[in-house]
């Protein structure tokens, strides 16, 4: 099955477990509105039980699971079946996030299962060495984020962004890079794309903002400026 195609620059809104149900759907609808307004590809994650609803309500978003496993149909009580995600309208999955790390063998098998089903893989890495190692698995997207900055509201300096972008592209030229961790302003978004990354996005920088919708507007406006300056 054919995977979704991601155009540079794209954006990820990853509410993690901060939101669920109606709260998650409201944020997804705002991302849908902005995806249409600016013509951006937008990855939106949600709790597994909310994915099908968001996929139906927000057809312009790339609805994304926050985790997936290599499980195949049959026995596997309590685990996450890739086919079930696909049937629910899921088009991508995060893997190996710092808050849900995976063994190398399970990560390898899960990427293979995602490839079978046409599900994009968005795989997380920490430092440069980590990025180089995981890039050998050829994920569709590599999230480069220092664990120490996750949730801090402080983004990495541009030298880290440039170095990890290069590390990934050297090993796996077709893997797209997404700079994350601490992205909390339009300035951070602009810097990430300026570094050569294909994408950026946030979690607490959005959901913990005084006005999350206004923060999304700020970030999308900055992404639009970065597209004009660096992606033409």
- Using a pLDDT cut of 90, give the percent of the chain over it: 89
Q: How far apart are CA 176 and CA 140, in angstroms?
A: 6
Mean pLDDT value of segment 166-195: 95
| Beta-strand runs (E) in 106-195 | 120-125, 141-144, 176-179
Helices assigned H by DSSP within 136-209: 158-171, 186-194, 204-207
Q: How far apart are CA 7 and CA 152, in angstroms?
A: 28
Name the residue ranges covered by the structural domains of the chain: 10-230
Structural element, H or E, at residue 151: none
CATH of 10-230, one of 3.80.30.20, 3.40.50.300, 3.60.40.10, 3.20.20.70: 3.20.20.70
User: Under DSSP, is residue 200 helix (H, G, I), strand (E, B) or coil?
Assistant: strand
User: Under DSSP, is residue 113 helix (H, G, I), strand (E, B) or coil?
Assistant: helix
Residue 74: DSSP 8-state: S
Q: Would you state the structure tokens that stand for residue 112, as one six-digit string?
A: 């293979």
**Does residue 48 carry a catalytic annotation?**
no
Distance of CA 40 to the CA centre of its chain: 14
Query: Which entry of 97, 162, 166, 218 is annotated as an active-site residue?
Result: 97
**Does residue 60 carry a catalytic annotation?**
no
pLDDT at 145: 85
Confidence of residue 123 (pLDDT cuts 50, 70, 90): very high
Is the peptide bond prior to 9 cis by the omega test (within 30 degrees of 0)? yes
pLDDT at 9: 98
Structural element, H or E, at residue 81: none
Lowest mean pLDDT among 35-39, 122-126, 195-199: 122-126
């Amino acid at each position: 099955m054919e995977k979704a195609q991601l155009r540079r620059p794209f954006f990820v809104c990853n509410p993690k477990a901060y939101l669920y149900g109606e709260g998650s759907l409201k944020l997804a609808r705002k991302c849908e509105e902005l995806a249409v307004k600016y013509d951006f590809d937008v990855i939106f994650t949600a709790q597994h039980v909310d994915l099908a609803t968001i996929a139906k309500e927000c057809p312009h978003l790339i609805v994304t699971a926050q985790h997936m496993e290599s499980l195949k149909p049959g026995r596997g009580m309590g685990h996450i079946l890739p086919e079930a995600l696909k049937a629910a309208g899921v088009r991508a999955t995060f893997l190996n996030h710092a808050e849900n790390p995976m063994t190398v063998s399970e990560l390898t098998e899960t990427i293979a299962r995602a490839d079978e089903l046409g599900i994009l893989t968005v795989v997380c890495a920490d430092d440069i060495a980590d990025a180089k190692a995981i890039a050998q698995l050829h994920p569709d997207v590599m999230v480069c984020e220092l664990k120490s900055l996750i949730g801090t509201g402080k983004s990495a300096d541009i030298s880290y962004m440039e170095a990890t972008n290069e590390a990934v592209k050297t090993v796996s030229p077709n893997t797209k890079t997404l700079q994350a961790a601490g992205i909390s302003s339009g300035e951070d978004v602009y810097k990430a794309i300026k570094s050569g990354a294909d994408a950026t996005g946030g979690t607490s920088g959005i959901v913990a903002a005084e006005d999350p919708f206004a923060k999304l507007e700020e970030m999308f406006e900055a992404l639009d400026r970065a597209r004009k300056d660096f992606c033409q």
